[in-house]
């Protein structure tokens, strides 16, 4: 018997943004086990099924795309021919160069998931190299409201919560039990050691069960709670006067705005008892307190204002950048985080070109020259493809995002695909987005690509190792971009090469730079700690026009928006008798990350069908029972989405709660179920939008349900 070669490689799981430290065991070059890295300062040994099964599941999937594919026949016709990388990249360069010459660089756009990933930043730099500022990220749907509020208030915390050091924890619109096992564990430990936990959520969850105090507001009314809490804090003199005087501007104005929100008014709007609001304020003010926020108050009209209200509460109670509060993001001296490159003048197009980014005029804090991540307003790009307004967009390169499933209004996204002159999609496997491409490029997975990332919460740097060589001919974003840029340069189609690196290792070394981080140790351990000082406001100031925390935001005012936080209702209520329920989308499922893992047996066993959760009372009213299939519709779209009813008293009567990301890998091309079981098929991307971030509402929408026969269900 030959001796087997066994080794263990430290890496990071990127199957969700928790970024747990992981250890991959290899036997004869094959990954046999993925386990948590207990030494990792961020995840401290926590992990989940997506890490255990998902990373290898995606990498080794039988349906994995191993070679570039070229469309044969009509777009979306499901006919493909395998081609070489040389042929694929030559064709892509040729098509992009031609469209750039005929329509200008602005006619070329890109879509990727978000600034979280280095590969997304590489994608942005590729587009900028072509001269195009038109880069779409999905963060208008994820964390963007938080990001814009954080930026204009000047906190620079992202989330930065220090649950371990907190005396009280305020959880708003987050359910870490499903979404973030590391945070969930930390919350449970905090509870055990006596920290008080306040949770704001319209629905009962495992997290609300952990709470000492649960506030159950009406959907989309959180800003009223936060303003009333500010009013209690100021009225009872519980704020941190020293911090406010030294580091904040606009306190008087904030106090005046909050004074408009006595608890009784907030109670009437939110349906939370006035004494509970006051109690929540007192608990939070008795810090150090940390603010744990989630998707429940993001991705909605009024999301930025809701976050502003909580961020102001955080600042006036002095919970900024102190142990047990919310830490500001810090980096080791000399280290560059890849997200920094988006803002670094050395990697920027001229301001007059950036000002032409789609959405820059309407949403300057999002898409403008000084916008949050300098990304487009996505629905406006879809419109530009379909209407040529404000100017034509003719080519799209989509990479590492499944926008046919994860953007609202699936039918319109698909119409846009059809209207393009050229669509390239980089992906691991065929999906409802890639199905419409002219060229499909096979991408490396998290087990096959390298990355150095900053984990501000830990705080540490994390290393993601290329644990195994790419399967087939899969390539990383960086490798694709480098080779494509060579070809574009040869065709005179490059404005300036903003992506000079030739390998992921070269890029990693560039990021680590001349910092004191020991690169070899970082690679060996999978992480590197760095010294972290809190409260050093003198040394590291606030990135606002005033150099202070702006409770009244001059940047909001300059954008023509309310400088003070206020309640902005989602503007949608179930008043139409034909659409009597309120729809909540995006409930997290343990086995899936949005549209990922849908082809994996382990995940389908855990969660075989899309589920619509109803209170038993609502089910009785609509004459449906547990296990029935229903079709969901909204007045905002012609689409429909099928799901299976589950009954639970966790959901209040009148509300229908579902997940997202459903499609059927074994369904018929080109939709693969994206128009049948995908909740975004019934959502609209046509507004209303948050006035600062441009986010649409992904919950709180009027909907109807209609029972359908199971024979109508595809795949049954």
Ligand X SMILES: Nc1nc2c(c(=O)[nH]1)N[C@H]1C(S)=C(S)[C@@H](COP(=O)(O)OP(=O)(O)OC[C@H]3O[C@@H](n4cnc5c(=O)[nH]c(N)nc54)[C@H](O)[C@@H]3O)O[C@H]1N2
User: What residues make contact with ligand SF4 under the rule CB under 6 A?
Assistant: 13, 15-16, 18-20, 47-48, 50-51, 181
CA–CA gap between residue 465 and residue 505 (Å, rounded) = 10
Binding mask 245-284 for ligand X (x = CB under 6 A): ----------------------------------------
- Within residues 424-453, the interface with ligand X by CB under 6 A covers 427-428, 431, 443-446
Q: Minimum CB separation from Mo ion for residue 313, in Å?
A: 24
Choices 170-178, 190-198, 527-535, 702-710; region in contact with ligand X by CB under 6 A: 170-178
- Dihedral over Cα of 557, 559, 562, 565: its sign: negative
Does 200 engage in binding with ligand X (CB under 6 A)? yes
Q: Which is nearer to ligand X, 173 or 364 (CB)?
A: 173
Q: Which is nearer to ligand X, 290 or 406 (CB)?
A: 406
Q: Does 64 bind ligand X (CB under 6 A)?
A: no
Which one, 138 or 319, has the nearer CB to ligand X? 138
CB distance 588 to 620 below 8 Å = no
Which among 575, 652, 574 has a CA at the least distance from the CA of 614?
Answer: 652
How many residues sit in the footprint of ligand X (CB under 6 A)? 58
- Rounded-to-10 torsion of CA 643, 646, 648, 651: 0
For residue 130, cis peptide bond before it (omega within 30 degrees of 0): no
Considering only residues 401 through 420, tell me which ones interact with ligand X, judged by CB under 6 A.
401-402, 406, 408
Cis peptide upstream of residue 459 (ω within 30 degrees of 0): yes
- Sheet with 30-36, side-by-side order of all strands: 6-12, 21-27, 30-36
| Cα 4 from Cα 507, distance rounded (Å) | 33
Taking the alpha carbons of 26, 27, 30, 36 in that order, is the dihedral positive or negative?
A: negative
Which of 451, 529, 453, 468 has its CA nearest to residue 40?
A: 529
Query: Minimum CB separation from Mo ion for residue 591, in Å?
Result: 16
Q: Quick check: 715 and 706 in contact, CB under 8 A?
A: no
Taking CB positions, which residue lies at the least distance from Mo ion?
142
Q: Which of ligand SF4, Mo ion, ligand X, none interacts with 330 (beta carbon under 5 to 8 A by kind)?
A: none
Q: Which residues pair with 35 in a beta bridge?
A: 23
From the CB of 678, what's the least distance to ligand X, in Å? 9
Tell me if 222 contacts ligand X by CB under 6 A.
yes
Residues 468 and 448: beta-carbon distance below 8 Å: yes
Query: Does residue number 462 form part of the binding site for ligand X (CB under 6 A)?
Result: no
What residues contact residue 547 under an 8 Å CB cut-off, 6+ apart? 541
- Does 464 interact with ligand X (rule: CB under 6 A)? no
Residue 461: beta bridge partners?
A: 454, 528
Q: CB under 5 to 8 A by kind: which of ligand X, Mo ion, ligand SF4, none does 495 bind?
A: none
Measured distance CA(118)–CA(452) in Å, rounded: 8
Closest to ligand X by CB, 364 or 586: 586
Q: In whole angstroms, how close is the CB of 578 to ligand SF4 at the nearest point?
A: 40
Q: Which two tokens stand for residue 464?
A: 């993601």
Smallest gap, in angstroms, from Cβ of residue 438 to ligand X? Answer: 17
- 12 contacts ligand X (rule: CB under 6 A): no
Nearer to ligand X, 159 or 553 (CB): 159
The least CB distance from residue 20 to ligand SF4, in Å, is: 3
590 binds, among ligand SF4, Mo ion, ligand X, none (CB under 5 to 8 A by kind): ligand X
Residue 581 beta carbon to ligand SF4: minimum distance, rounded to whole angstroms: 31
Q: Which residues bind Mo ion (CB under 5 A)?
A: 142
Could you give the residue ranges of the DSSP H alpha helices within 294-450?
A: 303-316, 338-341, 351-354, 364-367, 378-387, 403-406, 410-419
Distance CA 672, CA 78 (A): 11
CB of 226 within 8 A of CB of 303?
no
| List 16, 263, 549, 583, residue binding ligand X (CB under 6 A) | 16
- Binding site residues, ligand X, CB under 6 A: 14, 16-17, 113, 119, 138, 141-142, 172-176, 178-180, 200-203, 205, 219-220, 222, 294-297, 400-402, 406, 408, 427-428, 431, 443-446, 584-586, 588-590, 592-596, 660-661, 679-680, 683, 698-699
């Amino acid at each position: 018997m030959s001796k087997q070669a066994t080794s263990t490689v430290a890496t990071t799981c990127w199957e969700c943004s928790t970024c747990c430290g992981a250890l991959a065991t290899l036997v004869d070059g094959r990954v046999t086990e993925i386990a948590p890295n207990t030494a990792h300062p961020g995840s401290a040994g926590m992990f989940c099924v997506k890490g255990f099964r998902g990373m290898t599941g995606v990498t080794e999937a039988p349906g994995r795309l191993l070679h570039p594919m070229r469309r044969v026949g009509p777009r979306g016709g499901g006919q493909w021919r395998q081609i070489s990388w040389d042929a694929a990249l030559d064709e892509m360069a040729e098509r992009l160069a031609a469209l750039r010459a005929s329509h200008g660089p602005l006619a070329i756009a890109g879509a990727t998931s978000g600034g979280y990933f280095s590969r997304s930043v590489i994608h942005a730099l590729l587009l900028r190299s072509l001269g195009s500022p038109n880069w779409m990220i999905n963060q208008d749907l994820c964390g963007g409201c938080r990001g814009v509020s954080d930026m204009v208030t000047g906190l620079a915390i992202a989330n930065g919560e220090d649950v371990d050091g907190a005396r009280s924890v305020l959880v708003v619109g987050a359910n870490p039990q499903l979404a973030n096992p590391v945070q969930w564990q930390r919350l449970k430990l905090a509870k055990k050691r006596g920290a008080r936990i306040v949770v704001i959520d319209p629905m009962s969850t495992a997290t609300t069960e952990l709470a000492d105090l649960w506030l159950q507001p009406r959907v989309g009314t959180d800003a009223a709670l936060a303003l009333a809490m500010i009013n209690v804090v100021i009225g009872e003199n519980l704020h941190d006067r020293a911090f406010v005087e030294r580091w904040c501007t606009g306190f008087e104005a904030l106090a005046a705005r909050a004074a408009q929100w006595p608890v009784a008014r907030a109670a009437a709007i939110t349906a939370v008892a006035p004494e509970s609001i006051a109690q929540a304020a007192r608990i939070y003010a008795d810090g150090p307190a940390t603010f744990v926020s989630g998707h429940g108050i993001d991705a909605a009209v009024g999301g930025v204002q809701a976050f502003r209200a909580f961020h102001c509460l955080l600042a006036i109670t002095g919970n900024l950048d102190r142990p047990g509060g919310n830490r500001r993001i810090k980096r080791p001296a000399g280290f560059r985080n890849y997200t920094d490159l988006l803002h670094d003048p050395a990697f920027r197009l001229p301001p007059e070109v950036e000002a032409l980014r789609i959405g820059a005029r309407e949403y300057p804090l999002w898409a403008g020259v000084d916008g949050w991540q300098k990304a487009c307003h996505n629905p406006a790009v879809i419109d530009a493809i379909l209407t040529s307004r404000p100017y034509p967009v003719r080519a799209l390169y989509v990479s590492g995002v499944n926008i046919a499933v994860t953007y609202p209004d699936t039918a319109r996204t698909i119409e846009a695909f059809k209207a393009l002159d050229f669509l390239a999609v980089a992906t691991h496997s065929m999906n409802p987005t890639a199905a419409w491409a002219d060229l499909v490029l096979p991408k490396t997975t998290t087990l096959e690509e390298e990355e150095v990332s900053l984990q501000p919460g830990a705080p540490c740097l994390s290393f993601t190792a290329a644990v195994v060589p790419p399967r087939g001919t899969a390539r990383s974003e960086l490798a694709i971009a480098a080779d494509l840029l060579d070809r574009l340069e040869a065709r005179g189609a490059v404005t300036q090469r903003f992506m000079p690196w030739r390998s992921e290792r070269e890029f990693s070394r560039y990021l680590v730079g001349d910092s004191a981080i020991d690169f070899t140790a970082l690679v060996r351990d999978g992480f590197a700690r760095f010294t972290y000082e809190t409260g050093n406001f003198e040394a590291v100031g606030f990135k606002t026009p005033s150099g202070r925390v702006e409770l009244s935001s001059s940047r909001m005012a300059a954008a023509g928006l309310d400088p003070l936080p206020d309640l902005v209702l989602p503007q949608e209520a179930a008043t139409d008798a034909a659409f009597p329920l309120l729809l909540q989308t995006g409930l997290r499922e343990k086995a899936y990350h949005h549209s990922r893992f849908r082809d994996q047996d382990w995940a389908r066993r855990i969660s075989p069908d899309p589920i619509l959760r109803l209170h038993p009372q609502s089910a009785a009213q609509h004459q449906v029972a547990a296990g029935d299939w229903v079709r969901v519709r909204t007045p905002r779209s012609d689409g429909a989405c099928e799901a299976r009813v589950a009954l639970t008293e966790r959901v209040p009567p009148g509300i229908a709660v579902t997940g997202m990301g459903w499609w059927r890998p074994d369904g018929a091309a080109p939709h693969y179920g994206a128009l049948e079981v995908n909740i975004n098929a019934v959502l609209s991307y046509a507004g209303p939008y948050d006035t600062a971030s441009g986010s649409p509402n992904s919950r709180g929408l009027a909907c109807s349900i209609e029972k359908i026969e199971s024979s109508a269900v595809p795949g049954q």
